Structures are given as structure tokens and as C-alpha cells.
Amino acid sequence: MKTTPTRLLLIVFAACALIGAVGRAEIKTCCAEKITSESTALALSPDSLYQLESHFTDDTGQTFTLGELRGRPVVLNMFFSSCGYACPLLVTDMQAIRGQLPAAIRASTIFVLVSFDTDRDTPAALATYRAQRSLDKSWKLLHGSADAVRELAALLGLKYKQEIDGSFSHSNLLTVLNAEGVIVHQRSGLEGGLPATAAALIAAVK
């Protein structure tokens, strides 16, 4: 198997020509989303989503990990900003849930939107979406790596798939997390269930 560098190079080029390999950019994701390290001192519940240490970026360009939500109840939804059907409805539903919360709980609840569209939903695109939908600072809009997004979706039990036209087919799933990042309620589909979701959130705070 010893070959001269020149010969090796030739073989390599031949290989490329033969199989038309696309030299996909080598993205070594080593540390972006290692889940907790063994030394983590703050004991999280074994069911807490905040064990996920993936880094996201919010719509102001700041790095963000889900663990930063700890201490506050969360309504979480995955979406993409160019979605024409379900996602706008789900955001409207989240606003409706917010309207059903007592003032004190409403003030502490965070509404999180994580985009599937890792290519197009850049922080700037998410900022535009925030403006279009008039979302105030109780909303967190997050962009993540394809890997981080897939892992989060897997934790939520959410299926999604990118279509050839760039849009996404996806489960419609609103998730409520308690202050420790544990899933306390999920609402599947697009109809009904909002009072139950609000009630689950209120119960989680008490």
C-alpha cells in the first residue's frame, strides 16, 4: 500500500472524476453539542432537556444554550419562518396561550421558537420575523446547527423533513417545559388544546 505522493494524488483525482464525489465541506462538529460533561455540578433532573448543551444563536446574534431558560416556564415550538400554513397558526396559538395566563406567570414565561431552516433562518431572518409578528422580548427566536436542531427535535419526539423546494414537513407540536426543563405537556395538532396547555403551564409553576 506504499505509493508515491504523486501517484496517490493522481489516484485521488481519478477517484473524484470517476465517482463525481462532491467535496462536501468538512464540518467537524466535535464540541458544539456534547451533552453534559460528567463534572456538571448543578444537579439537573434526569428528565431535563437542559442536559442538552447544544449552542444556538438568537436573533440578536447572541449565543444561547437552552439551559439559560432554567428557572422559568417555557412554551417551545419548532418552526421555519417561510412556512405558509401551520407555523403562523402555531405562533398565533402561542399568543393565545399567553393571553390565558395570569399576569404574574405571563411575565415569567418564555416563548421559544427554534427554526428547522438552518440555512435560511439566520439570526437576521429571525429578527425580521420577530418584527413582522410583533413578538416582544418574552419571545426567544433561535437558530441552530443542523445537528443541534435534529437532536432537539428528537428529544421532543418531533418529526420533520426538508422538501426539495426548501420547505419543511413537520409535526405540529407545542411543548411546555417547567422551570427545570422537563416536558410537562405537549399539544399535538392544530386544533383545540389551548386551555389545557395554559393550565399545564400554570400547574407547572405552582
Partner 1 sequence: MTPRPFLQLSAIALGLWLGTVRGAAANGTEQGSVLIPAGFYEPLIRSPKDLAKKPVAAFWLDEQPITNGQFLAFVRAHPRWQRSHISRLFADSSYLEHWTSDLNPGTQAPLNVPVVQISWFAARAYARWVGRRLPTTAEWELAAAAGYTRPDGKNDEVLQHDLYAWLARPVPPIQSTVTTARRNLHGARGLHGFVWEWVDDFNTALVTGESRADSGLERDRFCGAGSLGAKDSSDYAAFMRQALRASLQANNTTTSLGFRCAQDFSPLDPYSPR
Among the listed residues 153, 24, 138, 155, the one whose alpha carbon sits nearest the alpha carbon of residue 80: 153
Among 171, 180, 184, 202, binds partner 1 (CB under 8 A): 171
Name the segment binding partner 1 (CB under 8 A); options: 23-31, 69-77, 102-110, 128-136.
23-31
Query: Residue 24, interface with partner 1 (CB under 8 A)?
Result: yes
Q: Is 15 in the site for partner 1 (CB under 8 A)?
A: yes
Q: Does 16 bind partner 1 (CB under 8 A)?
A: yes
Quickly list DSSP for 73-116: -EEEEEE-TT--SHHHHHHHHHHHHHHTS-HHHHHH-EEEEEES
Site string for partner 1, 51-80 (x = CB under 8 A): x-----------------------------
Edge to edge, the sheet with strand 56-58 lists 63-64, 56-58, 139-144, 110-115, 74-79, 173-177, 183-188
Q: Using CB under 8 A, which residues numbered 106 to 145 contact partner 1?
A: none
102 binds partner 1 (CB under 8 A): no
Contact 108, 69 (CB under 8 A): no
Return the closest-CA partner of residue 135 out of 189, 60, 67.
60
- Least distance (Å) between residue 162 CB and partner 1: 8
Give the residue with the Cβ less far from partner 1, 90 or 97.
Answer: 90
What's phi and psi for 45, nearest 5 deg? -60, 140
- The answer to the question of residue 3 lying near partner 1 (CB under 8 A) is no
Q: What is the chain's Cα-based Rg? A: 21
Residues near partner 1 (CB under 8 A):
1, 8, 11-16, 18-24, 26, 28-30, 34-36, 38, 46-49, 51, 83, 85-87, 150-151, 153-155, 157-161, 163-165, 167-172, 188-191
